[in-house]
Amino acid sequence: MASLPDWMYPPRAEGWYAEDLDHLPEAPRHTELIDGSFVFRTPQRWWHSHVVTALTLGLGAQELPGVEIAREMTVTLDRRNRLEPDVLATTAAYDPDRTWFAPEEVLLVVEVASPDSAHRDTTVKLRKYAEAGIPHYWWVREEQGSPVVHVYELDAPAGAYGAAGIFRDVLKRPVPFGVELELSTLTP
């Protein structure tokens, strides 16, 4: 059995810290940190890539004063958790050297399901984003080739998300900002 490269061994007993990701050029793209451990993504399917791109462009085309849309940027939830949603909406000012956002700068995170991420997206990430105080979470899954969006809103006193709707044709929401997306345009 081949040995692991040195960079894969955690530098401390409690694992990796969020800031470590900025100093590991050897780590594969889209490496996430969950509870001090690396999570590597499998190669994404074209459906996933297409939906992420279309959502990024669709949200970016909305009139969102003071809001920027980013794709595949990390959010440092705490010292041992740095997740990378597929799309996010932030109130942070543009900084070309930025590598992550703080939860209080994020209005919305969107995860597009992949075979290896669906369980994590609907359990671990759902809970961690809520505990970090991110007000809105969308999970997009595939249903017969079309996107279905599960929308969640944060119940701040409970520290958990509540379901706010499941959208199949048109996603129209007044929060976190006025948005209307025809979901059929997200896939060819």
What tens digit of pLDDT does each residue of 8-27 get?
888 888 899 999 999 988 88
Question: Residue 81 — very low, low, confident or very high, per pLDDT cuts 50/70/90?
Answer: very high
What pLDDT, on the 0 to 100 scale, is given for residue 8?
86
Q: Is the pLDDT of residue 41 over 90?
A: no
What pLDDT, on the 0 to 100 scale, is given for residue 1?
63
CA distance 57 to 84: 18
Average pLDDT over residues 105-125: 95
CA distance 92 to 42: 29
- Give the strand order in the sheet containing 37-39: 37-39, 32-34, 81-83, 74-78, 100-101
Exposed / middle / buried, residue 154 (Cβ in 10 Å: 0-12, 13-18, 19+): buried
- Which CATH fold would you assign to the domain 44-186? tt1808, chain A (3.90.1570)
Q: Is the pLDDT of residue 76 over 80?
A: yes
SS (H, E, C) the chain: CCCCCHHHCCCCCCCCCHHHHHHCCCCCCCCEEECCEEECCCCCCHHHHHHHHHHHHHHHCCCCCCCEEEECCEEEEECCEEECCCEEEECCCCCCCCCEECHHHEEEEEEECCCCCHHHHHCHHHHHHHHCCCCEEEEEEEECCEEEEEEEEEECCCCEEEEEEEECCEEEECCCCCEEEEHHHHCC
What pLDDT, on the 0 to 100 scale, is given for residue 67?
97
Residues ≥6 apart with Cβ < 8 Å to 17: 33, 36, 79, 80
Mean pLDDT of all residues belonging to the chain? 94
